[in-house]
Amino acid sequence: MKLNRRDKLLMIGDSITDCGRLRPVGEGQPEALGNGYVALVDAMLRAARPDLQIRVVNMGISGNTVRDLKARWETDVMNLSPDWVSVMIGINDVWRQFDRPHIPERHVHPDEYETTLDELVRRTLPRVKGMVLLTPFYIEPNRNDPMRAMTDRYGAIVRRTAERHGTLFADTQAAFDRLLEHLYPAVLAPDRVHPNLTGHYVLARAFLEAMDFPF
């Protein structure tokens, strides 16, 4: 596994990461990590490798886009001195173009998304052991659905960024697509964005597979 003894893993993103985590820093008791994939990652690490004493920190904030991450990156990531940083961001960058088309200043288009994500990775890599970039996802099997198609475009940007910088990468959309061969989307997320516990397990597993977790 990529993580070593006493490594500090900071996980940042939007509401899917947030999941009711403690403010200002989501760390400490299990409930401080919220009720989503971050808490599942922590639980699985503690259960499988208690000897490593990994520190997991949740710094997700509901509603965030990559633009918001950039604005708080120094205080919420760099100042906390993590060893590893996990980033899953992008669904709000996509969603605001669909649910608030009349507010263009809230829209983060692909060029800004890629430039900003690239900048954050470039700034961070020299100061950490490694990073994991997770794609955004939309729990919709029809790849021609407009929001699914745009989410795939943003996911491709995450893949390119990971390849360009040599970071670890987790394709969460592909992980959900495997389930969608058998399940209706609402079984995992009524709004196709915010997953239930099964969906959060999918995310936790995708992340841990990227980290070579010993399942």
| Residues involved in catalysis | 15, 191, 194
Instruction: Give the separation between CA 117 and CA 115, rounded to whole angstroms.
Output: 6
d(CA 37, CA 14): 12
Residue 192 to residues 20, 85, 95, 142, 189, Cα–Cα distance (Å): 19, 26, 11, 12, 5
User: What is the distance between the alpha carbons of residues 178 and 60, in angstroms, rounded to a whole number?
Assistant: 26
- Which H helix or E strand runs over 132? strand 130-134
What does each C-alpha distance from 103 to 23, 94, 114, 193 come to in angstroms?
29, 13, 21, 21
Long-range contact list for 120-124, CB < 8 A, 24+ apart? Answer: 120/66, 120/69, 120/70, 120/73, 120/87, 121/87, 121/161, 121/165, 121/167, 122/165, 123/73, 123/78, 124/73, 124/77, 124/78, 124/85
